[in-house]
Structure 1
Amino acid sequence: MRMLRTCALLSATVVLGVGVAGCTGSAEADRPQIVVTTNILGDVVENVVGDAAEVTTLMKPNADPHSFEISAQEAARMDAADLLVTNGLGLEEGLQQHIDRTSSAGVPTLIAGDVIEVLPYTSEDAAGADDPHFWTDPSRMVDVVDALEDALADIDGIDVEQIRDNSAAYRGDLAELDEEMSASFAAIPADRRALVTNHHVFGYLADRFDFRLVGTVIPGGTTLAAPSAADLRDLTDAIDEAGVPTIFAESSQPDRLIQVLASEAGIEVDVVELFTESLTEPGEGADTYLTMMRANTERIADGLTP
């Protein structure tokens, strides 16, 4: 039945002029099809799935999860998926119409934000809204792996034993990462555990590792917002009062605003780039979730440790 549904959807896409190759009964088409929205979740899913299924990640490296778009062919892959994995909590703003469509069509969907303990934004401009950036806390990613393991095990034709083994191995990797982050951050004095970034992305890291969120350049929880002159003045005052030595710019966003903020603050402050909302291409410093988190941990620790 899944094979027939896939062929029908791909045929419809061809009619629309996308030029998708027809169904040929290939080995790839015979394998369970998993589609993931963001590349951070995509890397985690690939580690858990291994070669037990075909994994398609929609978000390209170095993209913005709030605004990336997909092709008609990729939309057809969503419709034909045996499992769709999304972040949820309002992160995939540019993709929400497609997610709503596949959900209405009955495509099995795992929403990561539904299986973790969700934190609200702490800032006044986003008060009450759910924070979707849970991956900055590796212990919450363990909850996602647990739910993913169960969701994959329900798919017909998948190698459940392989999924169980891969899940256990990756949980071990996440536990090791959590220990490394705890040890690195423990060297930062309590009065210097203060974070300033482009926008609100470190709430879960702050909660897990006892940091203070001094503020952000961009208000709210989305990169699609823009700061006012009053926002920058208020944040400048907060930075000056907190005495932070480093502020952090995200790799997915230009750092012009944060450089201006550093200048406006009237204090000596470094600007350090972090990988926060997207993985990179191989060789660019953060091509896997574990690599990204270790790179950020090192940079935060170096930036804030005396």
Structure 2
Amino acid sequence: MNLRARTARVRALLLTLISCFVVAGTATGCTSGDDRPRIVVTTNILGDITREIVGDEVDVTVLMKPDADPHSFGLSAVQAAELENADLIVYNGLGLEENVLRHVKAAEESGVAAFAAGPAADPLTFRTGDEGGPAGESGEPDPHFWTDPDRVRKAAGLIADRVVEHVGGVDEKTVRENARRYDTRLAELTAWMEKSFAAVPEDRRALVTNHHVFGYLADRFGFRVIGAVVPSGTTLASPSSSDLKSLTRAMDRAGVRTVFVDSSQPTRLTEVLREEMGGDVAVVPLYSESLTEKGKGAGTYLEMMRANTSAMTEGLTGR
């Protein structure tokens, strides 16, 4: 732990002690703070990956709740303070957590170690549509790298490196073994996805989503990105009527009648698209940007990717 992070930890403990004196004599009482190493992770997908790597060696705090939108979730004052008291911050780093980045930056400036997973995972630029010519690219990096499990393998290995480097008190052998075991499971996931997607004929390997989120999956597994209902990499944007008309034309040209939408996002715009196309559109829900609560379909990254692969294969083949 560096000097500034240690100072922030001492300050947090002092505040805890003061609170203990204030509430002394109440029924709840107060216990002393614990000095276990801690990692703070912004998104729940990265949080699950980090927990797989550190196991019981480190306390991991995940800021983003299940089923939340990473583009729009914000922090409380307590959560912002947790960033400044961390031994290590793990975050996307490609503009995904739009309302959280200033807090991450402030913590970094105070001396907290931070790892941006996205820039380390060979980022792509946004692909805005493949039909009618070369794919358009906005020039902005696409933060949704987790839809390619091979990139997650790279990011996971680097998270393990940063934990060993910056988080005092961890057992390096345990962290490395956890990372090795998880890497094997990710490699098995990639092989299973390849086998599953092999059932999708070439002429049906076309994706339309509620916003641009599966560019990495398309690049890795040989799909075409036709377009998105919200023609942006963020859910905070809004489509115009001309955007929807352009998308319906692209879908007609490609013979696409399936739209994949995030299960946690409103479907109003997708319903408008369905009406534009005379009702002849299947809407298939996916877990694209957030994990769910445990037992709700996508409680882990591995579970999310398997569920999405099955839903996409069935949605594109009619099986």
**Deviating more after overlay: 204-213 vs 1-10:** 1-10
Query: Partners in 1 of 2:286 and 2:106 — Cα distance?
Result: 34
What SS does structure 2 have at the residue aligned with 1:217? Answer: strand
Give the gaps of 5 or more residues in structure 1: none
What per-residue deviation string (whole Å, max 9, x for no partner) do you get for residues 148-174 of structure 1?
A: 111111122111111011000100110
Q: Which residue of 2 aligns with 1:127?
A: 138
**Deviating more after overlay: 152-161 vs 129-138:** 152-161
What per-residue deviation string (whole Å, max 9, x for no partner) do you get for residues 206-245 of structure 1?
A: 0000000000011221100000000000001111111113
Q: Which residue of 1 aligns with 2:111?
A: 106
- 1:162 is matched by which residue type in structure 2? T
TM-fit CA distance, 1:72: 1.1
* Structure of larger gyration radius: 2
User: For residues 134-283 of structure 1, what are the structure 2 equivalents within 5 Å?
Assistant: 134-154=145-165, 155-266=167-278, 268-283=280-295
Residue correspondences, number: 302
Query: Partners in 2 of 1:247 and 1:22 — Cα distance?
Result: 54
> Cα gap change, 1:80/1:304 in structure 2, threshold over 3 Å: closer, same or farther?
same
Does the 8 Å contact 1:79/1:107 carry over to 2?
yes
TM-fit CA distance, 1:123: 1.7
Query: Partners in 1 of 2:162 and 2:73 — Cα distance?
Result: 26
What per-residue deviation string (whole Å, max 9, x for no partner) do you get for residues 245-299 of structure 1?
A: 3111112211111122022123622101000000011222111100100000000
- 1:174 is matched by which residue type in structure 2? L
Query: Partners in 2 of 1:226 and 1:13 — Cα distance?
Result: 44
Query: Partners in 1 of 2:245 and 2:264 — Cα distance?
Result: 24
Query: Partners in 2 of 1:102 and 1:150 — Cα distance?
Result: 20
- 1:261 is matched by which residue type in structure 2? L
Does the 8 Å contact 2:251/2:257 carry over to 1?
no
TM-fit CA distance, 1:99: 1.1
Structure 1 residue 94 corresponds to structure 2 residue 96 = no
Structure 1 residue 38 corresponds to structure 2 residue 39 = no
TM-fit CA distance, 1:98: 0.3
TM-fit CA distance, 1:76: 1.1
What SS does structure 2 have at the residue aligned with 1:121? Answer: strand
**Deviating more after overlay: 126-135 vs 115-124:** 115-124
TM-fit CA distance, 1:32: 0.8
Q: Which residue of 1 aligns with 2:87?
A: 82
Does the 8 Å contact 1:240/1:267 carry over to 2?
no
What SS does structure 2 have at the residue aligned with 1:239? Answer: helix
Does the 8 Å contact 1:137/1:204 carry over to 2?
yes
- 2:10 is matched by which residue type in structure 1? C
**Residue in structure 2 matching 1:69, options 56, 66, 74:** 74
**Residue in structure 2 matching 1:6, options 6, 9, 12:** 9
Does the 8 Å contact 1:7/1:23 carry over to 2?
no
What SS does structure 1 have at the residue aligned with 2:104? Answer: helix
Query: Partners in 2 of 1:75 and 1:103 — Cα distance?
Result: 12
- 2:277 is matched by which residue type in structure 1? A
Query: Partners in 1 of 2:264 and 2:226 — Cα distance?
Result: 21
Does the 8 Å contact 1:149/1:164 carry over to 2?
yes
Query: Partners in 1 of 2:102 and 2:177 — Cα distance?
Result: 35
Give the gaps of 5 or more residues in structure 2: 130-135
- 1:149 is matched by which residue type in structure 2? A
What per-residue deviation string (whole Å, max 9, x for no partner) do you get for residues 85-111 of structure 1?
A: 001100000111101101111110010
TM-score, normalising length: structure 2: 0.89
Query: Partners in 1 of 2:152 and 2:252 — Cα distance?
Result: 34
What SS does structure 2 have at the residue aligned with 1:247? Answer: strand
- 1:127 is matched by which residue type in structure 2? S
Query: Partners in 2 of 1:193 and 1:141 — Cα distance?
Result: 23
Q: Which residue of 1 aligns with 2:305?
A: 293
What SS does structure 1 have at the residue aligned with 2:312? Answer: helix
Query: Partners in 1 of 2:214 and 2:230 — Cα distance?
Result: 13
What SS does structure 1 have at the residue aligned with 2:99? Answer: helix
Q: Percent identity?
A: 52
TM-score, normalising length: structure 1: 0.93
